[in-house]
Amino acid sequence: MASIASPQPALVQTLAQAAQAWQQGRFEHVVALLEPWDCGPRMHPQVLQLMGLARMRLGQLELAEDCQRRLVETAPSDVGAWINLANTQAALGRTPQALDSLAQALALDPRQPAVYFNRGNVLMQQGDHAAACDSFRRAGELAPDRPDPFCNQALALNALARHDEALRVLQNVVARHPGLAVSWNLLGMTWHKLKEADQNALECYQRAVQCDPGLVDAHINAAQVLVRLQRPDEARAAALRAVRLDGRHAVAARTLGVVLSIAQERQEARAWLERAHQLDAHDPVALSNLLTLDTVCCDWNGCESHLTALRALWQQGRVEGLESWRLLSLAVDGPELRKLTEMECAQRFGRVPASTPERWRVHIGAPRPARLRIGYFSSDFHHHATSILMAGMFEQHDKSRFETVAFCFGQYPAGPDDPMRQRVRAAFDRFELARDLSDTELVALARTLDIHIAVDLKGHTAGNRPGIFAQRVAPVQMHYLGYPGTLGMPGAIDYLVADRVVVPPEQRAFYSESIIELPGSYQVNDRARAIDAHTPSRAELGLPADAFVFCCFNNNYKITREVFALWMELLRQRPGSVLWLLADNAEVTGNLRAAAAGHGIDAERLLFAPRAPLPRHLARHAQADLFLDTWPYNAHTTASDALWAGLPVLTCAGQTFASRVAASLLHACGLPQLVTHDARAYLSQALALSAEPERLRALRRQLVDNRLTVPLFDTERFTRHIERAYDMAWARFSQGLPPDHFAVPPLS
């Protein structure tokens, strides 16, 4: 190659001015100074170098790449030029070309740590976290005194879910560089991912803030962990500090919105979440939280627009922040539910191998243990819908053939004297308080106790611990009751307990699990559910004495635009009727009354019932005439409450588990005629029933008279059926067979 001539004196002066402008961050001035010199095929390398870097800082990536491409042609042995070209190519999304440029740099200097460091960054961008980890490790070996290769290595390890290794790397970094705020922040994030000790994570974030009070990310992360620690005031303060430090930080705005939403300050929460969405329209977390507010407040216009925007992101694989259970009340069908849930779980836990760990192979070919050990995992062993339904079943287990162990990782809202907590605790052979255990410790405990079948009672609902099932705590793992849909964790959850109504055979492909089909309904019920002896009058409840009372005590987020329109048509055609709903929050009450007025219905015909203790709530059902169900998210416990209290329920069965639960309950209590299959039939049946009071009275008598004989409320019979399910699932495992769909034969 011909030697590069020394620059002309005028160019030397210009380069000096450009270098000074660069140091001052005046990148437009750098370009203005050097553009007149960028006019020949063989420009001086310093012109091309400064022009390329300045254009990159200005976001002029295509022009920057052109400069840097010409630079490596002019000075092909310049390692830094190849690195800068690679960085620009990566910023343009051209990761294969960036890796090629870094390969050129590596050929020139195989011991240059910056090459390995930048190569690791490009590999991270490409999604090859394992190769990135190796590249960062090599950069650290070549530059052991620099913390950044080790910090990025920890990022790659976390992306590979190798959190314990990331923890060790970062602990070494903070020991050697105790004043480096970024490393403390990363260490906190790793503790956060491990869920080992939120307090440890918080302490790391606090150290980061001490080192650099302006590190916005540390304030954001502290707010998030404070939410998990149930310290809402401190969480709000940390999030506020973040937005004050940087008012254009999208994640800071989103975090404050989430904190306010949890505190049920919905209007302020929406304002901050909308700001986050304006700052970053491609953030699925902000959109998901806006969608949650939409559903909770019955803001159907917002719901439709935000769901459309989210679907565009989901198609790109962007499922961060997705709350699977929120999908159940939206127009999301079975195939999409499975796809999205599996995508979200794969991102969080990776793919779980479906092989049997060596530790449990001892059971293959062995006879059934005298007592099959069943582990029930939940945060809801207190006055909660799960325990309200299941308490009787826990008590009815055949203790000669089954040993039951509860793994409780929840809080107790009603305190230690909660009667339901005491009742449930007494029903188990062993009750493990696991709230303060990490996932790893909880897995170790379950394995130490040699649990044969692990039953998850949470699914994708608040307070869940899916990470323990991703690590496998038992030879057979299944989900029951808590979540009406697929968990999307193939290899981790072997079975989903259902029935033929909620999951017809032709819909099994929409589930990651094998289906256990129970006879009757999948839903257990407790015959000991007490109804208050005092039946309140309509006057006490604020109901008109002579009106026909349609009611729906479902959570308001289950009410859709379509269902509400049908209800308004009912009120229009039945002038002497009212609609009695649950009062969830002031926003939704106002929105529903405004929607009624929009349909030409007097908003005063919508009446709202406050929440009440369960016995009193059951007693007030006597003053309603017909329970109107919602879809695609049916009444579940709410429907069995109504049926137990003797109130007929009208439902419309859809195509998902959540939209077929009420149909399952009605079949199991002998009222299949109250199951419809489309909106027209639902409206027609509601009109017919509201015009035939004697028919409704007959249905009510049927419910009351047969309450203790129908399968839905036969707790002992149900318990024997689910015990058969456990036996059959264990038999398959002990024969060395993989999980598969099977039906439990009914008791003769």
Q: Is 153 within a domain?
A: no
Residue 673 lies in a domain: yes
d(CA 77, CA 307): 52
- Residue 18's pLDDT band, with cuts at 50, 70 and 90, is confident
CB atoms within 10 A of CB 631: 26
Q: What is the mean pLDDT of the chain?
A: 93
Tell me the pLDDT band of 584, cut-offs 50, 70 and 90.
confident
Q: Domains in the chain: how many in total?
A: 2
Q: Do 499 and 571 share a domain, yes or no? A: no
H helix or E strand, kind and range, residue 256: helix 250-262
Would 575 be classed as within a structural domain? Answer: yes
pLDDT band at 226; cut points 50, 70, 90: very high
Q: Is 270 inside a domain boundary?
A: no
Q: Name the band, by pLDDT with cuts 50, 70 and 90, for residue 414.
A: low
Say yes or no to pLDDT of 62 above 70: yes
Same domain, 686 and 617: yes
Average pLDDT over residues 59-64: 86
Is the predicted pLDDT of residue 391 greater than 60, yes or no?
yes
For the stretch 595-648, pLDDT in tens is 999 999 999 999 999 999 999 999 999 999 999 999 999 999 999 999 999 999
pLDDT tens track for 311-333: 999 999 999 989 899 999 999 99
Same domain, 479 and 560: no
| 501 and 650 within one domain | no
Do 586 and 480 lie in one domain? The reply is no
Strand 626-628 to 742-743 pairing: unpaired
Check: CB of residue 549 under 8 Å from CB of residue 576: no
460 and 554 co-located in one domain: no
320 and 285 Cβ atoms separated by less than 8 Å: yes
Residue 347: C-alpha distances to residues 159, 190, 343, 631 (Å)? 9, 16, 6, 29
The answer to whether residues 503 and 555 belong to one domain is no
Residue predicted with more confidence, 87 or 241: 241
- Show contacts of 125-134: CB within 8 Å, 24+ apart: 125/90, 125/95, 126/95, 126/99, 129/156, 129/159, 129/160, 130/156, 130/160, 132/156, 133/157, 133/160
Answer for the pair 666, 629: CB distance below 8 angstroms, yes or no.
Answer: no
Q: What is the pLDDT of residue 98?
A: 94
Residue 371 shares a structural domain with residue 488: yes
Place 335 in a pLDDT band, splitting at 50, 70 and 90: very high
Q: How confident is the model at residue 7 (pLDDT cuts 50, 70, 90)?
A: low
Q: Specify the pLDDT at position 6.
A: 54
Structure-block tokens of residue 231: 């310290």
CA 220, 223, 225 angle in degrees (round to 5)? 110
Task: State yes or no: pLDDT of 242 exceeds 80.
Answer: yes
Q: What is the pTM of this model?
A: 0.87
Same domain, 556 and 668: yes
With H, G, I as helix, E, B as strand and everything else as coil, classify residue 464. coil
Mean pLDDT of the 386-401 span: 98
pLDDT value of position 41: 53
Task: In whole angstroms, give the CA distance from residue 128 to residue 116.
Answer: 14
Q: Which domain holds residue 510?
A: 358-518
- The residue whose two tokens read 């009742």 is 423
**Euclidean distance between the first and final Cα of the chain, in Å?**
93
Is residue 491 domain-resident? yes
Q: Domain holding 587: CATH number?
A: 3.40.50.2000
Residue that is last in its domain, among 502, 518, 534:
518
- Residue 352 in this model has a pLDDT that exceeds 80: no
Question: Has residue 452 got a pLDDT over 70?
Answer: yes
- Residue pLDDT, tens place only, 688-746: 999 999 999 999 999 999 999 999 999 999 999 999 999 999 999 999 999 999 999 99
- Examine the domain organization and report whether 600 and 482 are in the same domain: no
At 469, which CATH number? Answer: 3.40.50.11380
CA distance 158 to 164: 9
Determine the pLDDT at residue 598: 97
Amino acid in the structure at residue 16:
A
pLDDT tens-place string over residues 646-669:
999 999 999 999 999 999 999 999
Residue 693 placed within a domain: yes
Residue 707, in any domain of the structure: yes
Distance CA 102, CA 83 (A): 6
Residues 499 and 586 in one domain: no
∠ at Cα 580 (574, 581), nearest 5°?
135
Query: 481 lies in a domain?
Result: yes
The CA-atom distances, in angstroms, between 42 and each of 13, 38, 70, 73, 323 are: 19, 9, 8, 9, 56
Predicted confidence at residue 4, as pLDDT, reads 46
Tell me the percentage of the chain whose pLDDT exceeds 90.
80
In this structure, the answer to whether residues 495 and 561 fall within a common structural domain is no
